[in-house]
Structures are given as C-alpha cells and as structure tokens.
Structure 1
C-alpha cells in the first residue's frame, strides 16, 4: 500500500478523482458513483470523510477537487497502477482484458523501491497500454539520469511538490519546469530544443496546432513540440 495509514478504499477514490480531474477540475458525485459502481449516498459520505482528512475540497451538489496532499497520493497510486499495466503486458504477456483488474490488486502493495526498479527496467515509460500518461515519480530528481546515478534507494528522498506533464495541462497553465523524464537520447533532444529544468513554461491551447504537437512558450521562446516530449516534461503545480 502507498501509505500504511491510507486504506485501499481511499486510494481508489483518489485515483478516480485524479483520472477525471488531474489539473484542478471538479469531479461530480455522479461521475464517481458511476466509475466506482457505488451508490451516490455512499459516495457523498466518503467525500465528506476525504475532505475532513484534507485530501479533497468538496462542494455539495457540485463535486470534489483534489488538494495538494490528495493529489500527491492520487498520483502515486495512479503511477503504480499504470506502470504495473505496462509490466504485465510487455513483460509477462498477460491478456490485455485481464490487466486492469490485476494491476488494481497489485498497486496497493507495490513498494516505492519496487516501483522505481520497474520503471528502470521498462525504460521510463511515459504512457500505459491505454495511452494514459504515467505520472512522474515523487523522487527528488531533475531527470531519470540523476535517478540512475543514485544506486542506494535508502538515499532517495521524496519531492515536496506535485508535477503535471505538458500533456496533462489545461489551457492557459504555466509553471516552472521541474522534472524531465526519459532516455539519455530523449533528454538530449529536449535540451537541444532549449528546454531545461528551471525554465518558465506556459501552455496556451491552440486549435490550429499541428496534430500531436503542443504549442508552448519556454522563457519567452515559442516552441511546437511533439507529444513524445510533452509527455515527459513536467511543471511544478
């Protein structure tokens, strides 16, 4: 389990909230009820509990939104789930229709150390088999290269803030680039584009953008980057 003090049930709620509102969007009780297959009244009771725990902000008849602490937990469990799906399909060759349920069972008991090892073995995947973004790890590194350099997991410390990839951003979002994921080749390509940790990034949705590209501004320089880069450049939120 991600945290000994957090139940699997709470993790499931936060995971669904993240899946539907990762960038500050409010998620309705109806949506949660549908996805979790739980009666609306029971969902409402849990949302009140989650608000008391400081994991969400809840507005009756409107829905819930993740707090920074709730986002931290939700990203962590979502990341483990999606990495496990990748592992089950790519390495163990499990049938695709069976993967989601098995990943749901495994995600709660996967240690952070095992998660890191899986990520390394899978070459730092950016999307799961359903093409959903795999959230960044919560380890305090600027890049995967730094992670490789730290061999002793006991020396790894956690990041104190949350991240979102460019691909997850809504219109008119900006922040400081704080983590870049990927192989040395991808890291080099991103650096060659003038993108590095510490730069200020702004994303403005553009209806005329080239398919599978994102129009961004990095330190006042306009760039049109492919989705492979956008999936792996993260800003502090």
Structure 2
C-alpha cells in the first residue's frame, strides 16, 4: 500500500494516466484534464511535479507516459479499484451506478494483504462489473493464484520485477512468454489439458469480437482461445 508514501491526489493522477495510456503508452493533457475535472494548466503543473518525482515522463504538447515506478503504483491502484467494484457489485449487490465512487473512496486505504484476501474471496475475477475492463495482475512473484492461496502471509512472497500483459490485451503479432496463470487449480488443469503451461511462447494471430475466441500460436500450434480465458494468461512480452 502506498497511502503513507504518496498522496491520494497523486495516486488519482497516476491511475488516470494508466487508463488513458494502455493503448499507445501516452496520455494527453486534455484527456487527463477532462477525466479529473481539473483545468489543463493545473494538470500541466502537476505532470511536471510528477516528472520531478520520477513517476512520469512529460513531453510538452504531446502528453505523458508512466515510468516503471509510476506504472507499478498506478497498476496497483487500478487493480484494487476494480477488485473493490467487483466485491461491491457481486457480493454486496450494490447498483452499478453506485460502485465507482465508493471504490474510489476505498482503494487508497486497502492494504496489500487485504487486496490479496479479497481476490481470493472473489475467486480471482478477471474483469470488473461496470465496464468489463480487465483487472490487472498482482505484482507477487508467483506462477499462479493457486500457489498464492497456499501462502499464509503476503510478506512471504517476493515482488515480481517483470511487466506482464494478459494474452487478451496483446497486439496482433506480439510475442510473449507465459509467466502467470490467474485462477484456481481447475483453471491450471484446464490449460494443461489444452497443452498450455508456464514458459511457453504465445503469439497473437488475430483478435475477435466480444465473447468470441481469439487465435493464438502456442509455441508452433494454433489454438482458438476463449476470450475470458485469454484474460487469465499473462505473458512477459518479447522486446
């Protein structure tokens, strides 16, 4: 948890930049201004401050991109937000229109251990309920959620250094190596039955409409991969 290290205001900026820069790594000042409801001039001042503190790289008239330091914090906040939304909707049965603001209020104070236990309670969800955006992978250096469930305390698990991407979020012709599988032991067995396991190479051949399979190469074998399943397989992209 970063609440004692950086302000909630900074976390909100990093979270917004993360969401806006997923496709092209760059978020425009006007987009950040619109999302946060803050004047562009004030946004520019804050972006320069974030650059000084090592969270972003700011390009005048172009936009801003997260550094590795900023990306790590932003992804963690987005993950907590989307897990909380899932809990509020699926478990507490709150209305969709009410869960976003509530999650915003709670995400900054949720500890890393509480986040891990919440993920386990919810049975490792891969999308949040309001906009079906993917829930980012945790940064625990483990091969699967199943392995995580066997560890008593989060302090016993080292942090992952690699930046992982869900297969369902890859770009066409991108290649990556499977490093993490989200879900319980049944999910792992299902993938094993398909001939898919850790350290295999994955190449995205093409995308597909919502809820339709995507085509990938697993090593040298073409596979039609269920869209939902593609959000539970995480790879480290090749350079």
Whole-Å Cα distance in 2 between the matches of residues 132 and 206 of structure 1?
16
State the partner residue of 1:192: 193
- Structure 1 unaligned runs (5+)? none
State the partner residue of 2:2: 2
Which protein has greater RCO, CA pairs closer than 8 Å, 6+ apart?
A: 1
Whole-Å Cα distance in 2 between the matches of residues 3 and 201 of structure 1?
37
State the partner residue of 1:12: 12
Secondary structure in 2 aligned to 1:203? strand
Cα drift, residue 210 of structure 1: 9.3
| 1:169 and 2:149 matched | no
1:3-52 CA distance string (max 9 Å, x none): 52221111111111111222552111111111111111111111112222
> How many residue pairs are counted as aligned between the two chains?
236
In structure 2, do the counterparts of structure 1 residues 95 and 154 end up closer, same or farther at CA, with 3 Å as the change threshold?
Answer: same
Matches within 5 A, 1:84-103: 84-103=84-103
Structure 1 window deviating more from structure 2 (147-156 vs 30-39): it is 147-156
Whole-Å Cα distance in 1 between the matches of residues 136 and 168 of structure 2?
11
TM (norm. structure 1) is 0.92
Whole-Å Cα distance in 2 between the matches of residues 211 and 97 of structure 1?
24
- Structure 2 unaligned runs (5+)? none
In structure 2, do the counterparts of structure 1 residues 210 and 155 end up closer, same or farther at CA, with 3 Å as the change threshold?
Answer: closer
State the partner residue of 1:138: 139
Whole-Å Cα distance in 2 between the matches of residues 214 and 175 of structure 1?
15
1:176-220 CA distance string (max 9 Å, x none): 21111012222211222222111122224457x896222222222
**Contact 1:216/1:222 (<8 A) preserved:** yes
**Contact 1:71/1:162 (<8 A) preserved:** no
TM (norm. structure 2) is 0.91
